Copies of this chain bind each other. A is one copy, B any other.
Amino acid sequence: MQHLDDTDKKILNLLQKDSRLTTKQLSLKLNLSPTAVYERIKKLERQNYITNYVALVNAQKIEKDFVVFVMVQLTQHSTKNIEDFEKKIMALPEIVACFHTSGTYDYLLKINLKNMKAFRKFMIEKLTEIPHISNTQSVFNIHEVFNYTALPV
């Protein structure tokens, strides 16, 4: 499968919103047989268009809805420093995303915590303990307008 046809795209868009849709339900939406839908999904999985299926958890309910974006500048950009830094970052469960970025700062981190107090503790005890950091800037999330896991196909 070199490119996806409209039916494949519809399947991907639907499953990105709700992976619990059965082949039967999908077959009704797509005017296809359940077997055909099944074969297409298996193909999408086999060819790695679909990487995995996950449950999404409510950050508020588990008290992890205080979100901060921390931009980090490194002292030097040697391979060793970068590998060192990324390794240390990966070990911190509060950091849910880490992007190596262009611009003034080298990394953009997304942190999920309980509240400001937890953030203060995290910064003092964990992030500033990591070597090679020269400077950070924290941007606080005031309101999450939206944050999709789905990509438009």
As for how many copies of this chain the complex holds, the number is 2
Question: Contacts A19-B19, A52-B18, A62-B49 known; A100 to B143 CB distance under 8 Å?
Answer: yes
Tell me, in angstroms, the Cα distance from A16 to B96 when the chains sit together: 13
Question: Contacts A98-B146, A139-B102 known; A151 to B16 CB distance under 8 Å?
Answer: no
Task: Please tell me which one of the listed residues B47, B64, B105, B146 contacts residue A97 in the complex, with CB atoms under 8 A apart.
Answer: B146
Question: Contacts A19-B19, A98-B146, A101-B139 known; A12 to B50 CB distance under 8 Å?
Answer: no
In the A-B complex, list the 5 residue pairs whose CB atoms are closest, starting with the nearest. A15-B55, A98-B145, A93-B152, A100-B143, A102-B140
Are A96 and B151 closer than 8 Å at their CB atoms? yes
Interface presence of A43 (CB below 8 A): no
Interface presence of A150 (CB below 8 A): yes
**30 residue pairs A–B, Cβ–Cβ below 8 Å:** A4-B62, A15-B54, A15-B55, A18-B54, A19-B19, A47-B61, A49-B61, A50-B55, A50-B57, A51-B57, A51-B58, A53-B54, A53-B55, A53-B56, A54-B149, A57-B150, A59-B151, A62-B153, A64-B152, A97-B148, A98-B144, A99-B143, A99-B144, A99-B145, A99-B147, A101-B142, A102-B139, A102-B141, A107-B145, A112-B151
